[in-house]
C-alpha cells in the first residue's frame, strides 16, 4: 500500500500546541487524542474534516469518535490490500454459499474443510472477515433471513447485488473448494453414501403439495400423525417444509398402495 503523505502542522499551530507551561488542558487533551505519527493519521484527518463539515464545532467525544473511525478505516484498508494480493486467502473469511434456493452466510478459517462438510451447491463469493463481519451481514440482510438466528437467507435483488459486488472486489472462489457443482464436473471415484438432503428446498405446505401433486388433506393427515413436521418457522410465523420430506412420504404411500 503506497505511503500517504501526512499534512504538516503550521509553525503557528506548533507553537500553539507546544507541550509546556501554559498549555490549555483542552489542547493537551486534543494532542493526546490525535497522534500525528499514527499510521492512520490521514484517515483520522478525513474523519475529522467530515464531522467538522457536518457539525461545526466538535466536542472532545466527537474528536475521539473520529479518531476511532479513522483507525477502523485504516485497518479495513490494510485488510483489503492484503486480500487483493494474487492467490492469497485471508486467515478468516465470510462466505456466501448457495444451497437450493437459499444462501448461507457464514464464516470460517478453514474453507476447504468447511465446504467439504457443508458441500454447498456453489460458493458464490467470499470476503475477508470473521464473526463480526458475519454478524454485520446477518444484520444487513435480516429482512430476508429465514429464521431470526439462522444463517440461511432468501435471495432478493439486494443480496444478489451485494454478492456480485463482493465477487467482483475479491475475485472468484477457489475452484478447489468442495461443492456439488465441482463434484458433477469430476469423474466418479467412489459411491456416494446416502444421507440427508443437501438442498433444503423450502416451501409452505400448500405450495409444496401443489408443486408435488399431493392432496393438501393427505399432507394434513401426515402432519396430524406426526409423520410430517416443518423444517423451520420463519420470523412471520409461517411454517416451511422440506420438499424432500413430502416426496419421501408420497413415495412410501405409493409403494403401500
- From 29, 56, 83, give the residue that closes a domain: 83
C-alpha span between 115 and 109 (Å, rounded): 11
Residue 67 pLDDT > 70, yes or no?
Answer: yes
Give how many domains the chain has, as a whole number: 3
Cβ–Cβ under 8 Å, residues 97 and 114: no
More confident call, 132 vs 49: 132
Rounded to two decimals, what is the model's pTM?
Answer: 0.45
Q: What is the pLDDT of residue 185?
A: 60
Query: What's residue 158's pLDDT?
Result: 94
List pLDDT tens digits, range 145-154: 988 778 999 9
> Do 29 and 78 sit in the same domain of this protein?
yes
Both 121 and 161 in one domain: the answer is yes
Do 234 and 155 share a structural domain?
Answer: no
Range of the domain at 57: 11-83
At 246, the pLDDT band (50, 70, 90 cuts) reads confident
Going across the sheet that includes 232-233, the strands are 202-203, 239-242, 232-233
In a domain, 178, yes or no: yes
Which ranges of 84-156 does DSSP label H, i.e. alpha helix?
A: 111-118, 131-140
248 Cα distance to chain centroid? 34
Write the pLDDT tens digit of every residue in 9-62: 444 444 444 444 443 444 445 555 666 667 777 777 777 777 767 766 667 677
Which of 83, 111, 145 corresponds to the end of one domain?
A: 83
Q: Are residues 170 and 252 in the same domain?
A: no
Which residue among 155, 185, 215 closes a domain?
Answer: 185
Amino acid at each position: 500500500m503506497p505511503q500517504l503523505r501526512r499534512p504538516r502542522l503550521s509553525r503557528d499551530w506548533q507553537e500553539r500546541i507546544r507541550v509546556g507551561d501554559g498549555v490549555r488542558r483542552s489542547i493537551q487533551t486534543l494532542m493526546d487524542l490525535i497522534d500525528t505519527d499514527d499510521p492512520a493519521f490521514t484517515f483520522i484527518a478525513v474523519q475529522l474534516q467530515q464531522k467538522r463539515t457536518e457539525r461545526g464545532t466538535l466536542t472532545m467525544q466527537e474528536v475521539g469518535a473520529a479518531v476511532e473511525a479513522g483507525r477502523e478505516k485504516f485497518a479495513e484498508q490494510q485488510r483489503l490490500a492484503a486480500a487483493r494480493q494474487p492467490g492469497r486467502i485471508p486467515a478468516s473469511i465470510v462466505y456466501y454459499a448457495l444451497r437450493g434456493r437459499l444462501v448461507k452466510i457464514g464464516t470460517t478459517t478453514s474453507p476447504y474443510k468447511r465446504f467439504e462438510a457443508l458441500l454447498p451447491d456453489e460458493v458464490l463469493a467470499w470476503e475477508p472477515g470473521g464473526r463480526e463481519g458475519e454478524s454485520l451481514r446477518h444484520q444487513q440482510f435480516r429482512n430476508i433471513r429465514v429464521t431470526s438466528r439462522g444463517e440461511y437467507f432468501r435471495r432478493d435483488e439486494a443480496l444478489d447485488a451485494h454478492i456480485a459486488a463482493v465477487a467482483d472486489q475479491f475475485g472468484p472462489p477457489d475452484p478447489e473448494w468442495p461443492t456439488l457443482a465441482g463434484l458433477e464436473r469430476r469423474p466418479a471415484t467412489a459411491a456416494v453414501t446416502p444421507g440427508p438432503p443437501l438442498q433444503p428446498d423450502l416451501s409452505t405446505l400448500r405450495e409444496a403439495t401443489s408443486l408435488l401433486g399431493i392432496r393438501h388433506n393427505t399432507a394434513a393427515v401426515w402432519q396430524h400423525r406426526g409423520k410430517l413436521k416443518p423444517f423451520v418457522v420463519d420470523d412471520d410465523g409461517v411454517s416451511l417444509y422440506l420438499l424432500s420430506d413430502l416426496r419421501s412420504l408420497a413415495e412410501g404411500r405409493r409403494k403401500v398402495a
